[in-house]
Amino acid sequence: MYDLVIVGGGPGGVAAGVYAARKKMKTLLITDSFGGQSLVSADVQNWIGTKSVSGFDLGKMLEEHLRAQEDIEIIDSDKVTATSDKEVFLEVATEQGKTFQTKYLLVASGSRRRKLGIPGEKELDGKGVVYCSTCDAPLFKGKVTAVVGGGNAGLEAGVDLLPYAEKIYLLERNEAPKGDAITLAKLTANPKFELLIMTEPQKILGDAFVSGLEYLDRKTNQTKKLDLQGVFVEIGAIPNSEFVKDKVTTDKLGEIMVDHKTQKTSHPRIWAVGDVSDVLYKQNNISAGDAVKAVLNIYEELNKA
């Protein structure tokens, strides 16, 4: 029986692991990898205490910090698939068929990119269809590209592409992008940029690599085609909350709702932190800080029991 099982090896999970180990709680951390979502970033410049670090090195630093703790067990290549309530504890099950019993569970499983779900997307993933502009914009030097999504992520993808791409279309479903006006102004001031409002991607074209994008012009109800080599999908994220979804209250996005003072969920034995939770801002430092809050609160509960 563990005091605490932590799910996730991103900044949230690792921060929780370090704090739980130092509190001498009997802890198991389960993750399928270390580093989390910014692992793919070429340069993270806002991880406090570090001026600049690649996502890969950040992942290594997190893993090293965790493994330096004496009092923690780590499973680094498995995934939690289900959580069940037992009388006075929880049981978590993993993809590899193991089960673990724990008094408390901390969910730090982050999120994954939302997909368009249109023909050609899966087939051309990594062959011109990309989900990380920070990582891949430099690969599109002199190319014609489209960004799908007019939220902040989409607008920032456009900005990432400005120094490289020959042309950047931005496809927005509604009448105006929802992202920051300042970022939009920076884009619209550049002649390479073209905003296509009231549009909906329908099909990504290409054999070995992307060669075009078909979209519905919702104003005229006509299908139109762009000849291009890159499609940047920036339509949000899906929280990795499936394995606890029937145990805790989630919002309409599937994010686990927490008490932001303690990180406690609607379930008395489950806490959640970082991108899987309904925290307003999704950032590495925030996940780590929320995890510290959660572990200190779980520690208090443990000592009350």
Residue 83 sits in the site that holds ligand FAD (CB under 6 A): no
Of 110 and 206, the one with the shorter C-beta distance to ligand FAD is 110
Handedness of CA 152, 157, 163, 166 (dihedral sign): negative
Interface map 264-283 toward ligand FAD (x if CB under 6 A) = ----------xx------xx
Residue 54 sits in the site that holds ligand FAD (CB under 6 A): no
Token reading at 119: 């023909």
- Please list the alpha-helical segments (H only) found in the chain: 11-22, 55-67, 133-136, 152-161, 181-188, 284-304
Q: 109, 31, 18: which is closest to 74 by C-alpha?
A: 31
Residue 294 sits in the site that holds ligand FAD (CB under 6 A): no
- Choices 26-34, 154-162, 165-173, 184-192; region in contact with ligand FAD by CB under 6 A: 26-34
Token reading at 50: 């570090």
Residue 152 sits in the site that holds ligand FAD (CB under 6 A): no
For the chain, what's the residue count? 305
Residue 44 sits in the site that holds ligand FAD (CB under 6 A): yes
CA gap 144, 44 in Å, rounded: 27
Residue 136 half-sphere exposure toward CB, CA atoms < 13 A = 19
Residue 111 sits in the site that holds ligand FAD (CB under 6 A): yes
Q: CA of 142: how far to CAs of 58, 167, 208, in Å?
A: 31, 8, 19
Residue 250 sits in the site that holds ligand FAD (CB under 6 A): no
Of 56 and 197, the one with the shorter C-beta distance to ligand FAD is 56
Residue 27 sits in the site that holds ligand FAD (CB under 6 A): no
Residue 36 sits in the site that holds ligand FAD (CB under 6 A): yes
Distance in Å, CB of 96 to ligand FAD, minimum? 11
Residue 199 sits in the site that holds ligand FAD (CB under 6 A): no
Q: 298, 146, 276, 275: which is closest to 211 by C-alpha?
A: 146
Handedness of CA 225, 228, 233, 234 (dihedral sign): negative
Distance in Å, CB of 160 to ligand FAD, minimum? 10
In the range 220-249, which residues lie near ligand FAD by CB under 6 A? Answer: 240, 243
Residue 289 sits in the site that holds ligand FAD (CB under 6 A): no
- Choices 30-38, 213-221, 228-236, 245-253; region in contact with ligand FAD by CB under 6 A: 30-38
CA gap 25, 63 in Å, rounded: 19
List residues bridging with 30 in a β-sheet: 7, 75
Residues contributing to the site for ligand FAD (CB under 6 A): 7-13, 30-33, 36-38, 40-41, 44, 46, 79-80, 108-111, 132, 134, 240, 243, 274-275, 282-285, 287
